[in-house]
């Protein structure tokens, strides 16, 4: 996904003089050619994440469309107040693009994990959050985000489904178990695990790469009583949205995602999927318990 | 060398004991406007208000290429108030220069007034940033200067007003180091030094900037001519800081 991001951003910088890229050393090597071609619009501030977002806000104040990029915990967690004040409160916008996701580099430990990023962005107003599930989904999402004027968080990961699903972000049914069946909503790269988890179960599965704004109309059309969320970031991040959407109906929600506890374990991303119950077996156990 | 006569000086800040700030003498057009605010909001008149009033007046009266008729002009100078608290003086000057109606000064913070305890750029004409939390203005100023340059707007300058205690915020150090390293010539910082930083800045504030490649001038923050000279007499090839020394905060 990062490669697609780099290539697409390079093209956007060439195509649209309104586009600017702000970096804090992360991925800077990949943008050397872009920086040479567009020295005034490819800005690497060094390892300074508060300045990274502040500069994005300043560029936006002059009318440019900044793409602000670094590793997820540094972009969203370290610079949260800059996102809140230097973008939102100034009434200007940027396209924030992270890599690293919840635990793409677990060997680096807690400092490089960012399961809370989407929840933090969700404390703000009006943001679109994209969590693509395949590298082929990235370019159209980035292009649309840069062409628009609203605030966007694009969360890239090394985890991916076997194939792209695309779409505009509305819930897309990928497995229809028939009327009245529980609805499972899988976000981004966890779709394959979710599909494998409910194999043989009467569960309808829908996919989205756009948890914000959540497709509440689609949810109301598809949901009956039981709703299962499978999200690749902090568990329960979208529970509030589902509760609000279904407030006039009796419903039950099972919210699966990354746990809050610092596991203090390294390993691989697959290990962390398993430890957080987000592999197929873990999702299956939770769904069986929920529906029994 | 007298502090008040310095224009572009690299790392030769005079000792604090050598400076004799002359104390507040409010610009005449601003006095009645401040009186209007004081009539209803005595609590807004901390020493912070008076610490910045002379700098603000010199900027708005003699330096900034802005006017109420061109608040959206891409070619305008940008003034970013980073220390967004105690803004009564800022509001009075905006009224004196016609950016806001003087009668807005009569009921600050009221439910229907656009002028609050911290300025909001979406509510107040002529205000470039919403500020309040310290340590945001200089980063925004760096981005603004970069954005102007990227669009070929080489005329406008970006001025950011900070306080000496605000420099305690680490975010400012990110901006100071980056702007100096990249020679961001379109940027001027003004630090009003009323000795309010908890642990102080031994050796003076200007050194923190000059060691990072800025030009600096340290002047009496009540001396309008000295402020004007310091704000204009630099080479514009590097970022520039003016340290405006006023009487210590009580």
Out of A122, A155, A188, pick the residue that ends a domain: A155
Residues 91-120 (B) with a CB less than 8 A from some CB of A: 120
Query: What three-state secondary structure class fits A65?
Result: strand
Residues 239-258 (A) with a CB less than 8 A from some CB of B: none
Q: How many domains does chain A have?
A: 2
pTM, 2 dp: 0.94
A51 and A119 in a single domain? The answer is: yes
A142 and A8 in a single domain? The answer is: yes
Q: Quickly list H helices, A150-268.
A: 191-197, 216-222, 239-245
**Under 8 Å between Cβ of A211 and A238:** yes
The pLDDT value given to residue B16: 43
Q: Is residue A100 part of a domain?
A: yes
- The nearest CA of chain B is from the CA of A58 a distance in Å of 4
Burial annotation A31-63 (CB, 10 A radius, 16+ → b, else e): beebbeebebbbbbbbebbbbbbbbbbbbbbbe
Beta pairing partners, A289: none
Q: Mean pLDDT, consecutive 10-residue segments, chain B of 250 residues? A: 38 41 74 87 72 94 96 97 91 96 93 94 97 97 98 97 97 98 98 95 94 98 96 93 92
A226 and A287 in a single domain? The answer is: yes
Percentage above 90 pLDDT, chain A:
100
A73 and A178 in a single domain? The answer is: no
Q: Do B175 and A60 touch (CB under 8 A)?
A: no
Q: Is residue A204 part of a domain?
A: yes
- pLDDT tens-digit map of A107-126: 999 999 999 999 999 999 99
A177 and A149 in a single domain? The answer is: no
Q: Is residue A59 part of a domain?
A: yes
A121 and A208 in a single domain? The answer is: no
CATH of residue A141's domain is: 3.40.50.970
CATH of residue A274's domain is: 3.40.50.920
Q: Which of A17, A58, A64 is nearest residue B142 as measured by Cβ atoms?
A: A58
A79 to chain B: nearest residue by CA? B171
Q: Do A60 and B143 touch (CB under 8 A)?
A: yes
Which residue range is the domain that position A285 belongs to? 172-291
Q: What is the mean pLDDT of residues A13-18?
A: 98
Q: What is d(CA A138, CA A136) in angstroms, rounded to the nearest whole number? A: 6
The pLDDT value given to residue B21: 59
- The nearest CA of chain B is from the CA of A17 a distance in Å of 8
* Ramachandran assignment for B109, one of left (phi > 0), alpha (psi -120 to 50 degrees), beta (any other): left
A147 and A176 in a single domain? The answer is: no
**Under 8 Å between Cβ of A103 and A113:** yes
Out of A107, A128, A155, pick the residue that ends a domain: A155
A43 and A148 in a single domain? The answer is: yes
ipTM (interface pTM): 0.96
């Amino acid at each position: 996904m990062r490669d697609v991001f780099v290539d697409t951003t390079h093209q956007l910088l060439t195509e649209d003089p309104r586009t600017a890229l702000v970096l804090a050393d992360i991925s800077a090597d990949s943008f050397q050619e872009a920086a040479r071609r567009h020295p005034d619009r490819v800005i690497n501030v060094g390892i300074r994440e508060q300045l990274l977002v502040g500069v994005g806000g300043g560029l936006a104040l002059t009318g440019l469309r900044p793409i602000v990029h670094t590793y997820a915990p540094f972009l969203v967690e370290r610079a949260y107040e800059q996102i809140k004040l230097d973008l939102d409160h100034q009434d200007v916008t940027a396209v924030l693009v992270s890599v690293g996701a919840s635990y793409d580099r677990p060997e680096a430990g807690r400092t490089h994990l960012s399961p809370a990023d989407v929840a933090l962005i969700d404390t703000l107003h009006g943001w679109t959050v994209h969590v693509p599930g395949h590298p082929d989904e990235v370019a159209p999402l980035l292009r649309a985000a840069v062409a628009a004027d609203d605030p966007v968080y694009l969360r890239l990961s090394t985890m991916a489904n076997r194939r792209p699903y695309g779409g505009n972000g509305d819930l897309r049914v990928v497995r229809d178990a028939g009327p009245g069946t529980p609805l499972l909503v899988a976000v981004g790269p966890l779709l394959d695990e979710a599909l494998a988890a409910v194999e043989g179960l009467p569960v309808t599965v829908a996919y989205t790469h756009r948890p914000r704004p959540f497709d509440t109309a689609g949810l109301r059309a598809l949901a009956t009583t039981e709703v299962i969320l499978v999200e690749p970031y902090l568990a329960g991040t979208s529970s509030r949205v589902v509760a609000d959407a279904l407030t006039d109906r009796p419903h039950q929600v099972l919210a699966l995602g990354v746990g809050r506890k610092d596991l203090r374990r390294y390993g691989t991303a697959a290990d962390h999927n398993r430890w957080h119950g987000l592999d197929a077996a873990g999702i299956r156990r939770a769904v069986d318990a929920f529906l029994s | 060398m007298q502090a008040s006569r310095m224009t572009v000086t690299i790392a030769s800040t005079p000792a604090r004991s050598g400076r004799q700030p002359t104390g507040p003498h409010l610009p005449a057009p601003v006095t009645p406007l401040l009186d209007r605010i004081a009539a209803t909001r005595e609590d807004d008149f901390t020493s912070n208000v008076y610490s910045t009033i002379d700098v603000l007046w010199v900027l708005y009266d003699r330096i900034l290429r802005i006017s109420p008729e061109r608040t959206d002009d891409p070619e305008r100078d940008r003034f970013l108030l980073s220390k967004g608290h105690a803004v009564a003086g800022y509001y009075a000057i905006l009224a004196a220069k016609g950016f806001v109606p003087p009668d807005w000064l009569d009921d600050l913070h009221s439910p229907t007034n656009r002028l609050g305890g911290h300025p909001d750029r979406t509510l107040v004409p002529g205000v470039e940033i919403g500020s309040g939390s310290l340590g945001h203005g200089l980063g925004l100023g760096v981005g603004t200067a970069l954005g102007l340059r990227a669009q070929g707007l080489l005329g406008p300058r970006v001025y950011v007003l900070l306080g000496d205690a605000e420099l305690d915020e680490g975010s400012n150090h990110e901006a100071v180091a980056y702007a100096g390293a990249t020679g961001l010539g379109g940027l001027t910082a003004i630090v009003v030094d009323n000795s309010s930083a908890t642990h102080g800045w031994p050796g003076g504030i200007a050194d923190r900037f000059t060691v990072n490649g800025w030009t600096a001038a340290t002047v009496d923050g009540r001396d309008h001519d000295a402020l004007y000279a310091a704000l204009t007499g630099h080479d514009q090839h590097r970022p520039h800081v003016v340290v405006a020394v006023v009487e210590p905060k009580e």
